[in-house]
Amino acid sequence: LFAGAADFLSSAPSVETLPPMRGHEIAFAGRSNVGKSSLVNALTGRNTLARTSHTPGRTQLLNFFDIGGKVTLVDMPGYGYAAVGKAKVEAWTRLIHDYLRGRANLARVYVLIDARHGIKANDAEVLDGLDTAAVSYQIVLTKADALKKSEIEARLAATRASLARRPAAFPEIILTSSRTEEGIADLRASIARLLSE
């Protein structure tokens, strides 16, 4: 799946400019600085696909990438950046809400959570929205390399516990590090399994 080319398709600043639905889509969401660009780059083996040097909170776009002609990867704008004003938060919420509501070909949202911090209040709000919209999602813990083994176990247990009461959450958590490439193969396998269902 990820052996072929990965190409940028388009950016959508609003729901009116979304590309037409075409095959399956998978989306990646997370707080600004969670390591989303790094993960998308590690996943696709392309260092320039998603920019890692962007100013957090500035990119309010849905970015669409074609993965080997088989699936569309959607990089959702990061949320939770402190310096962003109320108007931008509302614009983000509207864009995401409109996208999620109308996207019949969206197979799953991978929600990235920083393994050091766990699920924060604004992550929980996003998960609430996905549960309400009945959009299937799966948690991907990022930056596993920054934690000790015991800390990872505790984080996994706490995250698992908070997912237990969430109806749209896929129970399995994927532990990753873009730095060591830990879990990248697991994430690829998860996506391949999802698309073959």
List of residues contacting ligand GDP (CB under 6 A): 30, 32-38, 52, 56, 78, 142-143, 145-146, 177-179
Which CB sits closer to ligand GDP, 36 or 108?
A: 36
**Residue 177: other Cβ atoms inside 10 A:** 21
CA gap 134, 124 in Å, rounded: 15
- Shortest separation between residue 167's beta carbon and ligand GDP, angstroms: 26
CB of 101 to ligand GDP, least distance (A): 24
Minimum distance from residue 29 beta carbon to ligand GDP (Å): 10
The whole-angstrom distance between residue 37's C-alpha and the CA centroid of its chain comes to 10
Closer residue to ligand GDP (CB): 98 or 145: 145
Round to whole Å and give the CA distance between 123 and 58. 18
Nearest-angstrom CA–CA distance, 61 and 175: 26
CB of 140 to ligand GDP, least distance (A): 11
Comparison of 66 and 75: residue with beta carbon closer to ligand GDP:
75
Burial 11-40 (b: 16+ CB within 10 A, else e): ebeebeebeeeeebbbbbbbbbebbbbbbb
- Minimal distance, residue 47 CB to ligand GDP, in Å: 11
Q: Which is nearer to ligand GDP, 144 or 169 (CB)?
A: 144
Place of tokens 């707080």: 31
Question: Between 172 and 181, whose beta carbon lies closer to ligand GDP?
Answer: 181
